[in-house]
Amino acid sequence: MSRDQKCRVLIVEDEAMISMLIEDMVMDFGSEIVGPASKIDQAMALAKEEALDAAILDVNVDGEAVFCVADTLIERSVAVIFATGYGSRGLPDRFRDTPVLAKPFSYADLATTLETALAGSPCDTASA
């Protein structure tokens, strides 16, 4: 990441401990946290209103699917990454090409997935 432009990453996760771990990893990677949101309505408000470069979305947030939030983000050209213990098989077909972080994931997994998702964006490490 370039030092003068941090990527803004929305985190949507309903489990507090997992959310804190993701936040720490994303900040270590040099990005700025938006959220975290632990409810779909909070996530949707942030997805519509905040300037974002990427989002890491838990697929199941407090018993609700996060796909409406993902649709909103994709419409805004925000890179979306799904975090799930079920892998890509639990995703609707329209998200077939969306990156998936299989829970549990390592810092290296997150860093690689986030770098790939942000390729070509203003905060892309390759463009720094």
Residue spans of alpha helices (H) in the chain: 16-28, 40-49, 67-75, 107-117
111 contact partners, CB below 8 Å, separation of at least 6: 25, 29
pLDDT reading at 2 higher than 50: no
Greater pLDDT, 111 or 126: 111
- Identify the three-state secondary structure at position 52: coil
pLDDT reading at 127 higher than 70: no
Domains of the chain: 8-118 (3.40.50.2300)
Query: What pLDDT is recorded for position 125?
Result: 52
Greater pLDDT, 79 or 87: 79
Q: What is the pTM of this model?
A: 0.91
Which phi-psi region, left, alpha or beta, contains residue 96 (left: φ > 0; alpha: ψ -120 to 50)?
Answer: alpha
pLDDT confidence tier of residue 4, bands split at 50, 70 and 90:
low
Mean pLDDT of 88-101: 90
Q: What is the DSSP letter of 126?
A: G
- 16-71 pLDDT, tens digit per residue, is 999 999 999 999 888 999 999 999 999 999 999 999 999 999 999 999 999 999 99
